[in-house]
Amino acid sequence: MADGRIPDGDATDEALRRALRRAAEEARPRPEFRERLREGFLEGSLVPAVPDAAPAPEAAPAPAPAGRVLPIPRWLAYPAAAAALLVGLSVASSLRPEAPFDPPVASPPALSPAEEAMVAAERRLVADPVLGGRTWQRRLVGERPWLFPAEAASADAAEVEVISRAMADADATLRRLLEGAPERAALPVVAVVAPTRSAFEAHAAPLIEPLPLSEYTIAFGLRGPRVLLIAPETLAPGGPPCEEMDIVHEAAHAWLHARMDGAAPLPLWLEEGLADGVSMRGMDAREWCRKLIGALRGAGLDPFSAKQVLETEGIAGAAEVARQAAPCDERPYSLLPAFHAHAQSLVMFLLDEEGGRRERFLGWFGRTLAGERADADGTARALGFENADALIEARDAWLGL
Ligand SMILES: [Zn+2]
């Protein structure tokens, strides 16, 4: 006992070492928890990555090399104290290790908005008849949140980058266009990769009926789950390239959906006008609208009255107006672009800094996101015009028609 060790030796030493290691692992705080959680996010899971072997905790005693005795404080070596410690530790190890020993500071870290958006989107998708009942890999790509099907093995990094950039473009352009509108808290738009093309179409096709879904349509802003749904084939290595302008357009829809209250859709002209305005930025959209509406009116072919521009609901509604006026039965929807020209030019007119309409429009926009709805004349009055016809006439004059 000259050196303070227990005289009868190896077996007791070994038991003490094991008990101390176990106690240290169970009882010590876990500063690496946040780091593992963050890595889990980047690797596609919120569950912290569990290493194959328990890592040596930073502050715990280093594992004793074979043949060496763990440095034990001298007082622990007295048999009575050691016996009491072993009894205590054996009781502790029979309990669930995490619950009683987790220190209060080890609560999960606050999530970033992108991380929170992924968690919220995943929760909404649970109830989705097509996309529910599956697990997702969570990824951040250039700070944009993505959900990939758990089984997805790889994705074309260049396409993922293009789509992430388009989402960022839509976000930045809408913020700029709508600067001064009442703030509405919203999480970032989440891109969700459909597990199959048919799952993508099951969502997208009904939204544009009776129009056919083009094979080149690879993104859709879904109002229900409030996500940007991406068709998987464009992300397959060597798959068809995606059209950035379409993605920006759909990301703009998703951005608006993220800020809406209630289940009622936004007025179609507002959604399409803003989405077109964002995706056609940099082009002379005012001139395109002037020429298209002017040419159609010149030929007596503009199917949309002021009331129809302001009250038409859903693409199906606009398609039906176009079909009834179609000059050729074989091409029933050839006049549908007129709706987009009306919608986009109306939004541009109302957002124009000149003319004192902008502030009124932004206030109305905020109330509309919050659920306020009105008929065509009511909308026009809320925007400062006598009625729907007066609003469209003022827009026509602005266009130079
Ligand atoms: Zn659209």
**Is 168 found in the same domain as 75?**
no
CA of 332 to the centre of ligand 1 (A): 19
Name residue 167's amino acid. Answer: M
Expressed in angstroms and rounded, the spacing between residue 114 Cα and the centre of ligand 1 is: 24
Which of 91, 106, 121 is the C-terminal boundary of a domain? 106
Tokens of 223: 């109002």
- Are residues 230 and 197 in contact, defined by beta-carbon separation less than 8 angstroms? no
Q: Which of 47, 73, 106 finishes a domain?
A: 106
Whether residues 76 and 120 fall in one domain: no
Instruction: Say how many C-beta atoms besides its own lie within 10 A of residue 10's C-beta.
Output: 9
The answer to whether residue 5 sits within a structural domain is no
Residues 246 and 302 in one domain: no
Specify the pLDDT at position 16.
Answer: 55
**Residue 390 has what pLDDT?**
98
Residue ranges making up the domain that contains 229: 113-257
Residue 4 within any structural domain of the chain = no
Cα Rg of the chain (Å, integer): 31
Alpha carbon distance 125, 267 (integer Å)? 25
Query: Which residues of the chain carry a pLDDT beneath 50?
Result: 1-7, 27-31, 33-34, 37, 40-42, 44-78, 81-82, 85-86, 89, 91-97
What pLDDT sits at residue 72? 46
| Total structural domains within the chain | 3
CA–CA gap between residue 339 and residue 222 (Å, rounded): 21
pLDDT score of 27: 47
> Do residues 99 and 140 both lie within one domain?
no
Q: How far is the CA of 273 from the centre of ligand 1 (A)?
A: 8
* Domain-ending residue, one of 74, 89, 106: 106
CA of 368 to the centre of ligand 1 (A): 18
Encode 65-82 in three state secondary structure. Answer: CCCCCCCCCHHHHCHHHH
278 and 360 in a single domain? The answer is yes
CA distance 167 to 247: 7
Parallel/antiparallel/unpaired status of strands 227-230 and 219-222:
antiparallel
Residue 277 and residue 188 share a domain = no
Query: What is the structure's pLDDT at 36?
Result: 54
Amino acid 32: pLDDT: 54
User: Residue 331: left if φ>0, alpha if ψ -120 to 50, beta else—which one?
Assistant: beta
* CA 276 – ligand 1 centroid, Å: 7
Same domain, 239 and 275: no
Model pTM score: 0.74
Distance (Å, whole) CA 302 – CA 300: 6
